[in-house]
Structure 1
Amino acid sequence: MSVSSATPRTGKTASNSIRLLILASTLIVAAILSIVTYLLIREHAAAEQAATRAASNIVQLIDADVLRNVELYDLSLKGLISAAQRSDLRGISAPIRHLTLFDRATAAPYKGDILLLDKHGDVLADSASVVPRTGNFADRQYFQSHVDNPDPGMMISPPFRARTAEQDWRISFSRRLSGENGEFIGVAEAAMRLSYFNQLFKSLDIGRKGTINLISRDGILLAQQPPLADDLIGKDFSQRPNFMRILREGNGSFSSISSVDQTQRLYTFSQVGDLPLIVIVALSTDEVFSAWQRTALLISGATGVLCIALLWLTWLLCRELRRRQSAEQKLARLAAIDALTGLANRRTLDQTLNSEWARARRSFQPLSLLMIDIDHFKAFNDRFGHPLGDQALRVVAQNIGACTGRPTDLAARYGGEEFAVILPGTDTAGASVLAEKIRARIEDLPAVSEQASPLTVSIGINTWSGNPDISLDEWISNADKALYQAKYSGRNRVVSNMSQSAAKRSA
């Protein structure tokens, strides 16, 4: 048994305190990081929800405006068809007939020309002039769709370039004219300049990097403000993943990367009433979360500094506690060690005797005690003086300590020139072997001085083997008696109290 294990565990409390301090600091840091992370995630979600609500309001505003104007165009077409089918208008003058045919078309903003086409695609009536223009529109997609479909309702065409001098982008709204038997007799068509959507979109605040888009359910881009790239109007986006998701969900919001400029965007979208049109507001997530990012950077930095400071202070405190623990352990070792010999002192010996005696009585394991005394030491000390006597004590102590190698064994200075060795779990035979080893080793030592004789020791052994009637004091006294028996029998020998037999060893 080492001296430090036999002394009071002064460092155990400090070690536990350090562990608890580290654990508490770690938990506090983890709690701070968790709370801050939760708050930042919640604020991120709140920023996204606020942006989604704002975008939804813009989408609804655009929906209402577009739907209202499309209804005006449809009203113009229905009025044109209704007037064209009246037989009483055929005999009136051309200006009055022109006014009657197109009286409902004047309220449509950004309107292009409104035409009435016959079954061959030739112009029968033109909102731009009393005398219809000369032209044929049979090649237009909307015209062919009405020819093939007996009742398509109002159709919205893909964007196209006008045949006028402006060559601007337009879309057309058209309805089929059918005869009494349902046969195809012509098409009423009204064009809308896409500059209407651009003007509408420009009036809405979507940030510097956001875009507003109007796209048909076929995936054809009708309008975009501001444009992300040139020549996107009329382009087919039907196979793009984002559009496929929008078409599948109909209304809603999601975050994804734009296939046009590879920018992360927050898409909010809605179908315009029952029309085959979809309004998409695509906000840049960099702008949506810019304020949150600044806040997150500030809070993360402050939290990081706080956590680092806390961990640093914890490290400083742990270092001081370790220093104190080390100092206390050194003091404890000093308090447990005999300063002259380096073995355990009497106080440690008494504590260990009490604890091992109690353990042996609980476990019914044998417990042996060696009492060792240097032969003729008083005469040696008187003759050669205390310095040489102290050297002799240190030499004997070192060799006793070298022989007791088990961690459970304890070698101690009992007092003066007397030593003791506690041997837990060791019977008389094992104790006798160790005692003889100690005696022989010391006997073989060279003399500490040329004038002095070699040192020898006498050793008494007592072993407790389960007798419940004997006390600790009696057990120690019996070991002491065995020692005196060894000295009275001629010294330089080992005597066991249990056998009371002595084997003389040559000096």
Structure 2
Amino acid sequence: MIANRTPSITGQTGRPELLLIGGSLLTVIAMVCIVTFLLIRERASAQDAATRRATTIAQLIDADVLRTVELYDLTLQGLIAAAQRDELQNVSPQIRHLALFDRSTTARFKGDILLLDKHGEVIADSSRIEPKPGNFADRDYFLAHAFNRDMGMFISRPFKTRCDCDEADQWRISFSRRIASQTGEFLGVAVASLKLDYFDDLFKSLDIGTDSTLNIINSDGVLLAQKPYLQSDSVGKSFGNRPNVIRILNDRDGSGSFTSTSSMDEQRRLYTYSRVGNLPLTVMVALSSAEVFGTWRRTALLISGATGVLCMGLLWLTWLLARELRRRQRAERELAQLAATDDLTGVANRRMLDQTLRHEWFRAQRSGQPLSVMMIDADHFKAFNDRHGHQAGDQALKTLARVIGENVRRPADLVARYGGEEFSVILAETDSAGAQQIAEQIRQAVENLPWVDGAERAMTVSIGIATWTSASEMTLEQLLFTADKALYQAKEGGRNRVVVSV
């Protein structure tokens, strides 16, 4: 490459004014950069302070709502357990009513707690010993449990009661659970309602400032509560088609913040949102941007009049810095990926396996969901390696890793090389039957592979499976030991088979 050459600006005639202009420009640019940086930092500090304040408010609401929902869930579980006791069928209505609803919460905003049969008819009512006849087969909570046997606790859409009473116009939501026989047959629904005045009372003690709002929506974007109400009839309406709500509901993390314009009153606000545990409820704290950035704007307007001409310089420098940071992050991600990957097979290595297994173990402890571990070992691999050479052996391990990965499809599961010709698979939220089905698919797929041209026999795998459930008392080390023991039994039993630890 030939470099372009330019004549010097300071020739024999001399241009000292150019040097003065250049020095002045450099000085102004330096001042602009400093001032703009300070303004940006102050704005970020104002936003961070507002976000922390909003997050604290959201966490207070989350904690109270979670505690309330847990009380309702315990009430429903107690009601279902009592309803399935055979000895209650022959006692007096008063004793039966007391046994059914002895765990009922005494919360001030508690609505009716009902026990419905499989046709939606009321067979028990917390408010009266002799239940008032009624049918709720058309309610969303009844239909959800009637047609979905795996439904856990269901939170309904807001509704108004059907009674001719003072509370007829009050909005409520219900919490419900399915009642099933030992064979899984649908027997009915236990349901407890909560008056939405609960949220209004909860919001009263929270100060959010002027022109700001507190909102609670469900997973469909239906508004359950708001402070203050921007529209008198907004409760119970779906806002799932509004851009801000769509952005919040589509966030997989369930929490975050952003600044946007409200579609209800066209006010600019800083939205901070948080999903309430594992519930289909989201708390939104929308702070007025005018209040959040008011002081900063007055300062920025005063200073930007003298420095606004050179703002593009700072933007360019910021862009360069951001580009370098992106490059660095990309390089760090690549290094982290290399550090977690087995060089030969391309699957996770032992270090990644240990980290993921410990993470999934603690997650299973919290959720109570089963956790299965699969140990896979190539049968007669040493003989295969000696017969066909190390290069063929390495290729066999690569093929084996690929086949295992093709049969373990969920993103949350992990395939890792445990060591040598042994692989391990972590199956989160998978019971022993599901793990055995996947293991059989892997075993058959490996058995059917044409490993080496002219080979006397195909390579096979032996697989051992161990599963932790909430009913077991094994530790993480015992889980691995049990899976390894099952693998040993598979090899002792003739290889090319799957053994599930019992």
**TM-score category, normalised to shorter length:** 0.5 to 0.7
The answer to whether the 8 Å contact 1:44/1:289 transfers is yes
1:251 and 2:255 equivalent? yes
The Cα offsets for residues 124-156 of structure 1, whole Å up to 9 and x where unpaired, read as 111111221122211211111221112311100
* Separation (CA, whole Å) in 2 of partners of 1:203 and 1:295: 32
Counterpart residue type for residue 286 of structure 2: A
CA-CA distance at 1:257 after TM superposition: 1.7
Give the secondary-structure state (helix, strand or coil) at the position aligned to 1:90. helix
Counterpart residue type for residue 159 of structure 1: P
Report the CA distance shift for 1:149/1:304 in structure 2 as closer, same or farther (over 3 A): closer
Give the secondary-structure state (helix, strand or coil) at the position aligned to 2:250. helix
The answer to whether the 8 Å contact 1:212/1:282 transfers is yes
Aligned to 1:111: 110
The answer to whether the 8 Å contact 1:210/1:284 transfers is yes
Aligned to 2:222: 220
Count of residues paired in the alignment:
292
Aligned to 1:210: 212
CA-CA distance at 1:80 after TM superposition: 0.7
CA-CA distance at 1:229 after TM superposition: 1.6
CA-CA distance at 1:235 after TM superposition: 1.7
The Cα offsets for residues 334-393 of structure 1, whole Å up to 9 and x where unpaired, read as xxxxxxxxxxxxxxxxxxxxxxxxxxxxxxxxxxxxxxxxxxxxxxxxxxxxxxxxxxxx
Give the secondary-structure state (helix, strand or coil) at the position aligned to 1:199. helix
Aligned to 1:192: 194
Aligned to 2:47: 48
Deviates more, 1:238-247 or 1:136-145: 238-247
* Separation (CA, whole Å) in 2 of partners of 1:106 and 1:35: 59
* Separation (CA, whole Å) in 2 of partners of 1:31 and 1:298: 19
* Separation (CA, whole Å) in 2 of partners of 1:150 and 1:21: 81
Give the secondary-structure state (helix, strand or coil) at the position aligned to 1:134. coil
* Separation (CA, whole Å) in 2 of partners of 1:278 and 1:202: 18
The answer to whether the 8 Å contact 2:212/2:288 transfers is yes
Report the CA distance shift for 1:160/1:79 in structure 2 as closer, same or farther (over 3 A): same
Bigger RCO (CA 8 Å, 6+ sep) = 1
Aligned to 1:177: 179
Counterpart residue type for residue 272 of structure 2: T
Report the CA distance shift for 1:30/1:38 in structure 2 as closer, same or farther (over 3 A): same
Give the secondary-structure state (helix, strand or coil) at the position aligned to 1:270. strand
Aligned to 2:266: 262
* Separation (CA, whole Å) in 1 of partners of 2:188 and 2:211: 45
* Separation (CA, whole Å) in 1 of partners of 2:90 and 2:200: 43
The Cα offsets for residues 186-212 of structure 1, whole Å up to 9 and x where unpaired, read as 111100011111111221121111111
Aligned to 1:292: 296
Aligned to 1:74: 73
The answer to whether the 8 Å contact 2:274/2:284 transfers is yes
CA-CA distance at 1:177 after TM superposition: 1.2
Aligned to 2:235: 233
Give the TM-score, by structure 2 length: 0.55
* Separation (CA, whole Å) in 1 of partners of 2:303 and 2:194: 51
CA-CA distance at 1:241 after TM superposition: 2.3
CA-CA distance at 1:295 after TM superposition: 2.7
* Separation (CA, whole Å) in 1 of partners of 2:185 and 2:57: 43
The answer to whether the 8 Å contact 1:73/1:108 transfers is no
* Separation (CA, whole Å) in 2 of partners of 1:42 and 1:24: 27
CA-CA distance at 1:47 after TM superposition: 0.8
* Separation (CA, whole Å) in 2 of partners of 1:274 and 1:41: 36
* Separation (CA, whole Å) in 1 of partners of 2:31 and 2:150: 67
Deviates more, 1:25-34 or 1:221-230: 25-34
The answer to whether the 8 Å contact 1:228/1:261 transfers is yes
CA-CA distance at 1:20 after TM superposition: 5.2
Deviates more, 1:233-242 or 1:69-78: 233-242
* Separation (CA, whole Å) in 1 of partners of 2:54 and 2:73: 28
Aligned to 2:6: none
* Separation (CA, whole Å) in 2 of partners of 1:104 and 1:261: 44
Unaligned runs of 5+ in 2: 1-12, 311-502
Deviates more, 1:68-77 or 1:219-228: 219-228
Counterpart residue type for residue 295 of structure 2: A
CA-CA distance at 1:21 after TM superposition: 5.1
* Separation (CA, whole Å) in 1 of partners of 2:30 and 2:107: 62
CA-CA distance at 1:88 after TM superposition: 1.4
Counterpart residue type for residue 145 of structure 1: A
**What is the RMSD of the two structures over their aligned residues, measured on CA atoms?**
2.3
The answer to whether the 8 Å contact 1:214/1:279 transfers is yes
Aligned to 1:98: 97
1:279 to 257, 265, 283: 283
* Separation (CA, whole Å) in 1 of partners of 2:219 and 2:70: 18
* Separation (CA, whole Å) in 1 of partners of 2:142 and 2:175: 11
Give the secondary-structure state (helix, strand or coil) at the position aligned to 2:240. coil
Counterpart residue type for residue 215 of structure 1: I
CA-CA distance at 1:221 after TM superposition: 1.6
Aligned to 1:461: none
* Separation (CA, whole Å) in 2 of partners of 1:217 and 1:179: 30
Give the secondary-structure state (helix, strand or coil) at the position aligned to 2:74. helix
* Separation (CA, whole Å) in 1 of partners of 2:297 and 2:199: 33
CA-CA distance at 1:289 after TM superposition: 0.5
Counterpart residue type for residue 254 of structure 1: F
Aligned to 1:89: 88
Give the secondary-structure state (helix, strand or coil) at the position aligned to 1:52. helix
1:412-431 to structure 2, matched below 5 A, reads none
Counterpart residue type for residue 240 of structure 1: R
* Separation (CA, whole Å) in 1 of partners of 2:63 and 2:27: 53
The Cα offsets for residues 440-495 of structure 1, whole Å up to 9 and x where unpaired, read as xxxxxxxxxxxxxxxxxxxxxxxxxxxxxxxxxxxxxxxxxxxxxxxxxxxxxxxx
1:19-34 to structure 2, matched below 5 A, reads 23-34=22-33
Q: Greater CA radius of gyration, 1 or 2?
A: 1
The answer to whether the 8 Å contact 2:72/2:105 transfers is no
Give the secondary-structure state (helix, strand or coil) at the position aligned to 2:203. helix
The answer to whether the 8 Å contact 1:69/1:109 transfers is no
Aligned to 2:399: none
The answer to whether the 8 Å contact 1:211/1:281 transfers is yes
* Separation (CA, whole Å) in 2 of partners of 1:23 and 1:118: 86
The answer to whether the 8 Å contact 1:72/1:107 transfers is no
Give the TM-score, by structure 1 length: 0.54
* Separation (CA, whole Å) in 1 of partners of 2:26 and 2:149: 75
- State the percentage of identical aligned residues: 60
The answer to whether the 8 Å contact 1:216/1:276 transfers is yes
